[in-house]
Structure 1
Amino acid sequence: STIVIVEQSAGVQELVEQALRETGHRILVTQNALEVLDVARRVRIDLVVIDLDSEPGLVDEIRSSQPDLRLLYVSDRTDEQPADSEHNPPLLTPFSLDELRMAIAELLERSESEASGGAGTGP
């Protein structure tokens, strides 16, 4: 799977990138929405890890051009909820690397299940 990290803090970026590389994912790091959209035009992206606090309007920009792209939201605020947060709640900081890995695995698994028509979700 190809995962894009959108994070402006270099320290957080490096930590998340290292933790996810260990799981075998291809990791690409970007600084903003324009870079994400540029990467999405060139590479098939499976998931974007995005800090809701980093850039106002970023989620809307990504959603308007890539509506099917899976987003894992990270936030330190409980009052800021994206439109699809009912089915995809933000991962609240501080979080452990295990929590991050589990959230990513869950979103990727859900994405694969939906792509296969929901196979394996019934009794």
Structure 2
Amino acid sequence: MTDRIRERLTNLRNDLDAQIARTEAAEAESKALKQTLLEKENEIKSLSHNLAIAEEKMEKMEGDLKEASEKVRHLDVQAEQAERAVQAAETKRDEWEAKYESSEEKHRKVKADLEELERTMEGL
């Protein structure tokens, strides 16, 4: 009977050792998983922070883009107005040139008539 008890004790010790080994392995795995979880949580925090910074930059850039677009639109309007003013000035210039040429032609004609009249009067 003592052999049976010894055998039973040996089996219980072996079972206990196996249970301890499994417990230690499970604890080690749990510790590793907790460490991995902590690392992933820290990574998520870091990525969330980076995302927030990127979103702020994007909002600022969108504001800058809107402002730049508004300036471009304003400059386009000014350019169109300036172009119209240039066209109007060119039209006025063309009108004045035509008037000048007409006056110049009339002046030459009057001058020629005057010279003709002077020659005629000298001959009298």
Query: Does TM-score exceed 0.5, indicating one fold?
Result: no
TM-score interval, smaller chain: under 0.3
Of structures 1 and 2, the one scoring higher in RCO (CA 8 A, sep 6+) is 1
Q: Of Structure 1 and Structure 2, which has the larger fraction of its residues in strand?
A: 1
Q: Which has the larger radius of gyration?
A: 2
Whichever structure has more helix as a proportion of its residues is 2
